Chain A
Amino acid sequence: MIETHQLGKSFHDPERGELRAVQDLNFRCAPGQIYGLLGANGAGKTTTLRMLATILAPTEGRATIAGFDAETQGEQVRRNIGFLSTATALYARLTAEEMVQYFGRLQGVDEALLRRRIDELFERLGMNEFRRRRCDALSTGMKQKVSIARTLVHDPPVMIFDEPTGGLDVMAARTILGFIRECRERGKTVVFSTHVMSEAEKLCDTIGIIHQGRLLAEGTLADLRARYALHDLEDIFMAVVQP
């Protein structure tokens, strides 16, 4: 479960002064659901998800992830999430297996269980072929699979994806989207951000449209279609951000 209440983040910029990247953000995502944050570049998606992953500290409001407070219980929050973004790269000089093992150990997974999980994940994701290959020698698709295995190694109840298909080719993007769906089927709470309308349409149980740091509209695709009397999500998005 993810819940935010009046969540906000301000940055101090030496040239532009105080910048409110996110403000008054309220949303809720239940287990077995996918919540999609839809917004243009710079809308505040990454900042929001970084706050949920406790990488950034909120300056206003609060967020609760798997029952833990993002600000005061950062470590417990991070034990219960899998965080994947275009910025979460792999250690180039580690092998695929070492990479997953490293994060499993940091998550405190017991060694015997960790070995089992790694075998299972590598089998499931078809990664055995490049198991002992260094990450800098992997293709983009292979790297994405290693990242997925990294986020799943501790079997977290909450998954956070920040533009997970950014910069990927069709094949690699499909792997990721399939994986996000699988997370929902396994009863995980999933929040993901995107600016690709088709992804949001296909995957999300609830869509939140974020613009200039504020959540301007929220609902299921059917809700939004009914509210704005438009069918196409892109048209709905434009109607929300440029009324």
Chain B
Amino acid sequence: MKLRDIGIIYRKEMKDTLRDRRALISMIVVPILLMPLLTIGIGVLSAEIVGRAMEEIPKVMILGGADSPNITAELRAQSDMLVVPAGSDYAQQIEDKRIRAAVEIPPDFDASLAAGTPSTVTVYDYEGDLKSGIAADRLQKFFGDLRDRTVRDHLAAQRLPDALIHPFEIREQNVVSREKVTGAMVGGIVPYFVILLCLTGAIYPAIDLTAGEKERGTMETILSSPVSRTDLVFGKFLTVLTASLATAFLAVLSMAVSFGIGKGLLMSLTDAGQGNDFTLTINPGSVAAVFAMVLPLAVLFSAALLAIALCAKSYKEAQSYLQPLTIIVVVPGIVSLLPGVDLNARLALIPILNTSLVSKEILMGTYHWHYIALIFISSCVYAAAALTVAVRLFEREDVLFRT
């Protein structure tokens, strides 16, 4: 192996790649734009949608209640809902979204309230529909308040204290650091995107440097130069690896900026009204550690993509081989996001999934050193195997000159 030759190949391939618009888009534009779009874009959009739904005064229907004028009058007086005339087709009207919800008041409801006899109020809604849910919530809040008021009135009548029905309060208190809370909330997402972008950033250069070179007829030119095929593979591999890591690095950078900007939005969306002091805290050291764990995976991706793309005889054929890989990579990424999937010795040997899981732990501030070592070593072994395959394939005439 000649480092000088690898360096010459690497410098040329980098220059070539940086002049390739497609590679630049996948390496620089996509990671920089994806994160703000995902966090700020979706954040703004959902805030807008929820905000508009909250502003709407939903139409609701009162079913029954003719013998309970007090309650129906009180309901009609509510400013956050509009009572429309009752109809027997209320279910259909909810389904057609002509009204958002309906409430059924049992017979003699006013009288039962006064007498303290139990009865049931039914709220009809469109489960899963945002606006119907808001209307149903408002109805439930109205009747919840009414129930509390009735209990208090009954207690007062019997000269009993309010505390009788509230003997104690229940309070939830978080005991872990903000970093761990953030890790638990977004810890799965961050490595997932880093891993996915490591792959997508490597796809175009990998195709361009192999199948692209065959298609354009430069493969024979380079093979007639004295450079050894091993050095040629290493030079190309380092280029793909650089593209892969640059994509992932830019994604993390853009993610950090987006989180900073999008924090306010996330706060308003996630904890509105709950008064929690919600902050996303990601330790830069943890991000660096995640990067170190992703490194052997990027090596594996780069070598594997190079080997697979080399087997194709054209750009298009290589694309059809490599695009499905993004789906294959997504699966372990999603599995790692599932609740209850935690790192163990067996999962530590499954590529991609292991890196995803350990990165999640690292972002939560948990370092299981024995797993980290196992994952790092196993990922390095897989990466070395993929690189060996790539080198072997470059030595095969039937692969290089496939017609």
**A residues with CB within 8 A of B:** 11-12, 50, 53, 55-57, 75-76, 78-79, 81, 83, 85, 87-94, 98, 102-103, 105-108, 150
CB of B224 within 8 A of CB of A78, answer: yes
| Chain B residues near A107 (CB-CB < 8 A) | 225-226
CB of A94 within 8 A of CB of B12, answer: yes
| Chain A residues near B104 (CB-CB < 8 A) | none
Bound Cα distance A12, B8 (Å): 35
| Chain A residues near B227 (CB-CB < 8 A) | 106
Of residues 203 through 244 on chain B, the ones whose CB sits less than 8 Å from some CB of chain A are: 216-218, 220-221, 223-228
Q: Say yes or no: is B20 at the interface (Cβ < 8 Å to chain A).
A: yes
**B residues with CB within 8 A of A:** 5, 8-9, 12, 15-16, 19-20, 216-218, 220-221, 223-228, 397-398, 401
Among B5, B220, B228, the residue within 8 A (CB) of A88 is B220
CB of A98 within 8 A of CB of B15, answer: yes
CB of A89 within 8 A of CB of B225, answer: no
Question: Assuming A78-B224, A98-B12, A102-B12, what are 5 further A-B pairs, CB within 8 angstroms?
Answer: A55-B220, A79-B226, A93-B20, A98-B15, A106-B9
Measured CB to CB, the nearest residue on chain A to B12 is A102
Bound Cα distance A88, B218 (Å): 6
Among A12, A53, A89, the residue within 8 A (CB) of B216 is A89
Smallest CB separation, B223 vs chain A (Å): 5
- Name 12 A/B residue pairs within 8 A (Cβ), A-sorted: A50-B220, A79-B226, A89-B216, A93-B15, A94-B16, A98-B12, A98-B15, A102-B8, A102-B12, A106-B8, A106-B227, A150-B221
Among A75, A89, A91, the residue within 8 A (CB) of B226 is A75
Measured CB to CB, the nearest residue on chain B to A50 is B220
Smallest CB separation, B15 vs chain A (Å): 7
Decide yes or no: A106 and B225 within 8 Å by CB, A93-B16, A93-B20, A94-B16 being known contacts: yes
Count how many pairs of residues, one from A and one from B, have CB atoms less than 8 Å apart in the complex. 62
Smallest CB separation, B41 vs chain A (Å): 33
CB of B397 within 8 A of CB of A106, answer: no
CB of A87 within 8 A of CB of B8, answer: no
Smallest CB separation, A9 vs chain B (Å): 10
Among B8, B16, B19, B225, the residue within 8 A (CB) of A78 is B225
Bound Cα distance A50, B217 (Å): 14
CB of B8 within 8 A of CB of A105, answer: yes
| Chain B residues near A79 (CB-CB < 8 A) | 226
Bound Cα distance A75, B230 (Å): 12
Smallest CB separation, A90 vs chain B (Å): 7
| Chain A residues near B397 (CB-CB < 8 A) | 56-57
| Chain B residues near A91 (CB-CB < 8 A) | 12, 16, 216, 218
Smallest CB separation, B84 vs chain A (Å): 67
Smallest CB separation, A52 vs chain B (Å): 10
| Chain B residues near A50 (CB-CB < 8 A) | 220
Those 9 A-B pairs whose CB atoms lie nearest each other, nearest first: A89-B217, A83-B224, A88-B221, A93-B19, A78-B226, A106-B225, A87-B220, A79-B226, A55-B223
CB of B218 within 8 A of CB of A103, answer: no
CB of B226 within 8 A of CB of A88, answer: no
Measured CB to CB, the nearest residue on chain B to A147 is B221
Bound Cα distance A108, B4 (Å): 9
Smallest CB separation, A80 vs chain B (Å): 9
Measured CB to CB, the nearest residue on chain A to B213 is A91
Bound Cα distance A50, B398 (Å): 14
Measured CB to CB, the nearest residue on chain A to B229 is A74
| Chain B residues near A53 (CB-CB < 8 A) | 224
Bound Cα distance A90, B12 (Å): 13
| Chain B residues near A108 (CB-CB < 8 A) | 226
